[in-house]
Structure 1
Amino acid sequence: MNWFLVSIKKEKEHNKNISIKSKIQNEFPLCEVEETVFQSHNINMIYATNQSIHNKQFQFGDLFIIGDIKIHNKKELISKYDLEYGQSNESLVIQMYKRKGIACIDDLVGEFSFVIFDKRYNRVYAIRDQIGVKPLFWVCKKDEYIFSSDIFLLKDFFDVQDLNYEYFGEFYERNGTIDIPSTPFKQVNRISSGHYVLIEEEKEVVSRQYWDLSDIRNEIRYSNESEYFEKFYEILNEAVNCRLIKGKYNSVLLSGGLDSTSIYSLAKMNEENSIASVSAVFDELKECDERDYFEELLMKYEDEGNYVNLDNKLMFEDFPNNIPFTYEPNVSSISSEFSINIAKVSVKKGFYNVLSGFGGDQLLTGSLYITRDHLKKLRIKKLFSFLTDYSIYTNTSAYQNMINYTLKPNIVKNFVRNESEYYKTIEEKLKKIPTYSKKELYFEISNAKAHLYIDRTIGGITGTDMNHPFLDRRLIEFMYKIPGDLRFTPEYSKYILRKSMRNILTPTITDRLNKTTHLAYTYKSLKKNWDSIIKVIEHPIIVNELGLISKEEWKENVGKWRNGLETRSDFWTLLAIEIWIKKLMRKVELN
């Protein structure tokens, strides 16, 4: 885990040093960090990490840079820009910037948020990666700009009680997926994914988008399917390997599904870097246990695996104190104990660099919307074949499926409220995307960002670095460019993944059709801890002050949640807002 903060005075010279080490350790008491500070005239840069710092360089002549930077296409960049090997990520970016200016960021593949101060022209650039894996926030004071990797590092520069109530409406409309400039705090701004902010003397702050998936127009067409499988394998393999580090420090959060097992198997094929697995298992809650799937794979690679039994390590213990506080509402934080328990064991075993299969569902699970594309291209026979087979496999109405997916498709209507501004925004965005398979992929990848907000909190608590190979920019762009049929067939989803990984997985996994859920685990957790849960949520702020839901609707859905029944689709989003505001109020009281 890396953290950073940079303060740039508009005119005056800095007269005091700033530290972030104490702030990090106050937030994450068990986190041991090293800090390095750089100061020059009107700029202060502070970088901290839970790993060793080796000769961190911030200044390159009249150029200054700080950030959390992981570049995954170094070889290509070195060749394209005719650079020397062995440079740090910061040095590489600066050398590119010298050659091409800020346009160089178009060539970056990786996960990054960083700030460049160009003293020659008194310009500040703050850049966030294309997918939004690394966060970046900023505050503007009277004579100072402050940028940071995390909101909590900015607490000296804003009032945590000065809430932006419009934000919660946005959070609700977007069902917990936030990638907009605003934050819960009026004075704190976010840089959206694929954007950079430019600050110049005596000019307005400008935010510019430099990458968006919907802008990609070229397509990939191969002569046969095997070529797609081979290329997909190549890109995913690179996405996995560039996220491994040298030594015995890597693990995969291994379940019995296609996504994590594919990452584990590809990592095992790499002889340079070792990989271990850490898995949740259940002896009592058999329906949640997946050992029947992944133990055969462990045998294939002569690996014993590391198990974490969660039968009695339940969620919602000491509710809501057990839910880690993040400086934004976070749907994933509600169930984060599950991941935290596994991550703690991984670190205890010495594996702090953790890979997960997150993003695989969003990237690779197509749907029957592909039939709309078949209709457009007059592939009538294929259209009816898909509709018929899918309806048989899922025991659903072929007629209704044709209405919903082929004749009157509306991808966002099931996920976004029709009257919301976000509905209009995303509807306009999807209009310029030519096919429904691409529209769906764009929407799914946009929603994948909701999970990423919890990674830094889990990392701080446990000492892990979380990595998600399926969110690799190269892989996302490849899937966007190829025919939609390769994501979905009526028989099963993730077609290209199943076919590409067949030789390195086991038939038990590649032929698997069902998906394990943890409903029994969630229900057991609710049943045991319900008395403490209901005390917190029975008088909700989201009803009384924010007006996001009626009292009656809230009471009804809380009852359904308690009894394991299906709740409204936005229930977890509402719950996340409710818990977050109450935890913030408690935090303010304690301070």
Structure 2
Amino acid sequence: MGAICGVYNQNLVPLNPEELNRMSMKMNHYKEKTEYSFRRGPIGLIEINLNVLLEKRKDNKIINFEEYYIVADCRIDNKKNLIRELEIIDSQISDPELILLSYMKWKERCVHYLIGDFTFTIWNSKENVLFCARDHLGMRPLFYKLKKNSFLFATDIRAIHNTFGITNWDTDYLADFLYKKGMPNDFDTPYPEVKQLPKGSYAIITPTKVSICRYWKLDYKKKIIYKDDMAYVEHFTEIFKEAVYQRMRGNGAVSIFMSGGLDSTSIYAQAKKLQHPNTISTISCVFDEYKEADERNYITAMLEMYKENNYHFLVSDNYWILKNFPNYAPEMDEPNRNALSYGMVYNSYLMAKKNGAKIALTGYAGDQVFGYNPYYITSYLRRLQFGDFINEAKLLSKQNNDTLLWTVKNYVLKTFKQQHEPPTILLPNIHNMCQERFQERNQIKDPGIRAHYDYIDQSQNLYLRRLVSESLGIEERHPFLDVRLVEFLFSIPLEQKIKNAETKVLLRKSMKNLLPSTILNQSGKASTNMLLFQGLRNEWKQLQPKLKSPILADLGLIDGSKFLDKITRYRHGELTRGMEYLSALQLELWLQEHTK
């Protein structure tokens, strides 16, 4: 995988080669790459390949069959099915070739046959038509820009648009970023001139128009009901095995970022059980000074259970947020909340790199796809299961150290009045405008299901991690964000995900005997809040002047004095509504770097 970009002159005027050269120069942050390019008439295409997958292309050029040409950033996970469906003899066919043959047979309907992480563009030189598509969950990005009579596209905004010295921001994008607590929407960008092809969508570009069609979205009405619990376990285990196995496919070693939590250890256990031919190692962030964040006891139990010798600990006490501010993160085309923790992210990947990894697996999004949220207890009440409701409410209260009355008031009564979602950092009028832009999710009446839908919808916040990993020649992959797994978990009954206030019920059943009991039975997570407090204290002298007159306040999005007060309180160890204010902090710092 890697990156793609290109230009199509819709007026069919031959493309100036300098346009393509400029794009290529903007993509120089990719290392250990192979670059392919194609230019003919009104079209120019570039593909940057990180050489992660096993299958090699037959010659050093853009892939084409007949009049069709393709550039792709992809990994296809259902190759065997497609090879059989397309009656292909060569089992070593590359993923882009497989996509192209699928398109030649099914045209735009090909996206319904593809499973995996992908973004690609196909040029039909005979009909002068460009076809672009993005995978179901939006794991790989695709940005585009209309410029006079040209359609420009790229997986990195910098290839098609200047990202510094900006005077005109897309304030809807900025507001949505804050409304969703640091999770950007999937159709806009910070720049009004640049748009994003939404996840689960394709575009058809002809000399006269640009058409965008949504081919997939998560169906909140679909239900999967089995007669007995074991059927759910078997189905989940089958999908989970496949999700892990396919994400280990490649021509190099695999590093697994393994904490002491249930998600990443499950991926490691499944990877070991599958006996994949690729070498496996683990990378774990541990803490010598901050004992409340250290999970070595869980990690060590896991390593001992599998007699794993190829493991690596990254002592992370000194990787506080905003370290070396203002030079705390790499150049980014978009804001990303994880940029605050760049030091830990970068050094984790650097350790994987030094150990020869070409692929990194994470437990990211396990929380999101299993959908834990306290509003789940309302589902029992809506189904008139009063005994189960009381039981779950009591257990939830005990787990959160709340009174039963407080739990019922905030997680039940307020939901019926639609008052359970707290206000955001946004000014009230801006908050209300954002709510109106996301009306689709408001159609889901059950607050527990709506929160689960939101978690999945907002789970692809991976820009910084992709930027860091691919700059080191590593591809990061996330088994829990397999579309088949996501669809299954969203459609099964609540009790298979949360029961007796215990989360990830199905995962725990599936991993029985594969994980130490200490991990299977644990609840809660280790806290790394001390890295936040330490970072604000250590970098405050340089940081505080930047927050006195925030651009976000000048744009009419937030109350600047309230913002500064909240960050100041964080510095002193008082953390409330951290997700949204830290998202605002990163967005503000990013805006200051990119504003003229």
Contact 1:66 1:116 in 2 (8 A): yes
For 1:333 and 1:537, the matched residues in 2 are separated by: 17
In the alignment, what sits opposite 2:302? Answer: 297
SS in 1 for 2:538: helix
Specify the code of the residue in structure 1 equivalent to 2:69.
F
Match of 1:453 among 447, 457, 463: 463
The TM-score, its normalising length taken from structure 2, stands at: 0.91
Equivalent-residue separation in structure 1 for 2:136 and 2:459 (angstroms): 13
Q: Is 2:35 the counterpart of 1:35?
A: yes
CA displacement, residues 197-231 of structure 1 (integer Å, 9 cap, x when unaligned): 2222323x2221111103x6432222221221121
Cα displacement (A) at 1:161: 4.9
Match of 1:241, SS state, is helix
Alpha-carbon distance in 1 for matches of 2:266, 2:474: 21
Comparing 244-253 with 406-415, greater Cα deviation is found at 406-415
Alpha carbons 1:325, 1:583 under 8 Å: kept = no
Match of 2:516 in 1: 506
Matched with 1:233 is 237
Deviation at 1:474, TM superposition (A): 0.5
Matches within 5 A, 1:430-445: 430-431=442-443, 433=444, 435-445=446-456
Name which of 361, 371, 380 aligns with 1:355.
361
CA drift at 1:412? 7.2
Instruction: Give the aligned partner of residue 82 of structure 2.
Output: 77
1:277 counterpart (277, 282, 292): 282
Q: Is the 8 A contact 2:77 2:116 kept in 1?
A: yes
Asked if 1:462 is matched to 2:462, the reply is no
Range 221-230 or range 133-142, more displaced: 221-230
Q: How many Å apart are 1:547 and its aligned residue?
A: 2.7
1:13 aligns with 14
In the TM superposition, residue 111 of structure 1 has moved relative to its aligned partner by: 0.6
Unaligned runs of 5+ in 1: none
Q: Are 1:283 and 1:309, in contact at CA under 8 Å, matched by a contact in 2?
A: yes
User: How much does 1:436 deviate?
Assistant: 4.6
Kindly state the Cα deviation for residue 262 of structure 1 after the two structures are TM-superposed.
Answer: 0.6
Structure 1 residues 556 and 218: alpha-carbon distance in aligned structure 2, compared to 1, 3 A threshold: closer
Pair 1:489-2:499 in alignment: yes
Instruction: Tell me the distance in 2 between the aligned counterparts of 1:381 and 1:430.
Output: 29
Q: How far apart in 1 are the matches of 2:395 and 2:195?
A: 49
- How far apart are the structure 2 equivalents of 1:100 and 1:201? 22
Q: Deviations over 1:418-440 (max 9, x none)?
A: 74233234354342x47554322
Q: Measure how far apart 1:247 and its partner are.
A: 5.4
Distance apart, 1:162 and its partner CA: 4.5
Summarize deviations over 1:7-35 as a string: whole Å, max 9, x none: 1122112242623553233x46xx34321
**Which amino acid is 2:27 matched to?**
I
Q: Does 1:414 align with 2:418?
A: no
Please tell me the residue identity of whatever aligns with 1:483: P
Is 2:392 the counterpart of 1:401?
no
- Residue 261 and residue 389 in structure 1: after superposition, are their counterparts in 2 closer, same or farther (change >3 A)? same
Distance 1:311 1:217, change over 3 A: closer
- Where 1:179 maps in the other structure, the secondary structure is coil
Asked if 1:254 corresponds to 2:272, the answer is no
Letter in 1 for 2:34: E
**Are residues 146 and 93 of structure 1, via their aligned partners in 2, closer, same or farther at CA, if it must alter by over 3 Å?**
same
- Paired AA for residue 26 in structure 2: K
Asked if structure 1 preserves the Cα contact closer than 8 Å seen for 2:252 and 2:278, the reply is: yes
Q: Does 102-111 or 434-443 show the bigger shift?
A: 434-443
Matched residues in 1 for 2:312 and 2:351: separation?
8
Structure 2 residues not aligned, in runs of 5+: none
- 1:223 pairs with 227, 235, 259, which one? 227
Tell me how far apart the structure 2 counterparts of residues 384 and 120 of structure 1 sit (CA, whole Å): 66
**Could you say which residue in structure 1 is the equivalent of 2:102?**
96
The answer for the alignment partner of 2:550 in structure 1 is 540
Q: How many residues align?
A: 578
Contact 1:287 1:520 in 2 (8 A): no
Give the structure 1 partner of residue 129 of structure 2: 123
Q: 1:327 to 1:59 in 2, by over 3 A?
A: same
Equivalent-residue separation in structure 1 for 2:32 and 2:103 (angstroms) = 34
Partner of residue 568, structure 2? 559
Amino acid across the alignment from 1:234: E
Query: Is this contact kept in 2: 1:137–1:148, CA < 8 A?
Result: yes
Kept in 2: contact 1:181–1:189 (CA 8 A)? yes
Q: How far 1:158 moved relative to its partner?
A: 11
Report the alpha carbon displacement of residue 73 of structure 1 after superposing the two structures with TM: 1.1
For 2:66, give the aligned amino acid. G
CA RMSD of aligned residues (A): 2.4
Equivalent position SS for 1:352 = strand
CA distance in 2: counterparts of 1:35 and 1:367, whole angstroms: 45
Alpha-carbon displacement from aligned partner over 1:326-381 (angstroms, at most 9, x marks no partner): 11111111122211111111101111311111101111142343333222332222
**Cα distance, 1:160 vs. partner?**
5.1
Q: For the Cα contact (< 8 Å) 2:410–2:420, is it kept in 1?
A: no
Rounded Cα–Cα distance in structure 2 between residues aligned with 1:208 and 1:303: 47
User: SS of the counterpart of 1:552?
Assistant: helix
Matches within 5 A, 1:179-194: 179-194=185-200
Rounded Cα–Cα distance in structure 1 between residues aligned with 2:400 and 2:179:
30
Which string of whole-angstrom CA distances, capped at 9 and with x for unpartnered residues, describes residues 266-291 of structure 1? Answer: 11112223311001111122221110
Give the C-alpha shift of residue 83 in structure 1.
Answer: 3.6
Report percent identity of matched pairs. 29
Whether 1:23 and 2:26 are equivalent positions in the alignment is: yes
Structure 1 residue 302, shift from structure 2 partner: 1.2
Distance 2:218 2:480 in 1: 15
The CA distance in 2 between the partners of 1:456 and 1:223, in whole Å, is 41
Is the alpha carbon distance of 1:438 and 1:468 closer, same or farther for their aligned partners in structure 2, counting shifts above 3 Å? same
Q: In structure 2, do the counterparts of structure 1 residues 435 and 103 end up closer, same or farther at CA, with 3 Å as the change threshold?
A: farther
Query: Matches of 2:386 and 2:8 in 1, distance apart?
Result: 61
Question: Which consecutive segments of 4 or more residues in structure 1 shift more than 6 A?
Answer: 156-159
Output aligned runs, 1:154-193, within 5 Å.
154-155=160-161, 161-193=167-199
- SS of residue in 1 equivalent to 2:204: strand
Q: 1:158 to 1:99 in 2, by over 3 A?
A: farther
Contact 2:320 2:341 in 1 (8 A): no
Checking the alignment, whether the CA contact within 8 Å between 2:287 and 2:294 is kept in structure 1 is: yes
Cα deviation, residue 297, structure 1 = 0.6
Letter in 2 for 1:209: R
Label 1:529 to 1:136 Cα distance change in 2 as closer, same or farther (>3 A): same
CA distance in 1, matches of 2:552, 2:558: 7
- The CA deviation string for residues 44-88 of structure 1, in whole angstroms up to 9 with x for no partner, is 111113338733543221222212011111122233343443322
CA contact (8 A) 2:250 2:359 kept: no
One-letter code of the match for 1:62? E
Q: What amino acid does structure 2 have at the position aligned with 1:80?
A: E
Choose 299-308 or 311-320, whichever is displaced more. Answer: 311-320
**CA distance, structure 1, for counterparts of residue 313 and residue 485 of structure 2:** 30
Shift of 1:400: 3.3
Change (3 A) 1:254 1:58: same
Residue by residue over 1:136-160, the C-alpha shift from the partner in whole angstroms, topping out at 9 and shown as x without a partner, is 0111222321111110111379985
- In 2, Cα distance between the equivalents of 1:279 and 1:542? 36
Cα displacement string for residues 380-427 of structure 1 (whole angstroms, at most 9, x for unaligned residues):
222222112222333323233234334442597237577423323435
Equivalence for 2:158: 152
Alignment of 1:311-322 (within 5 A): 311-322=317-328
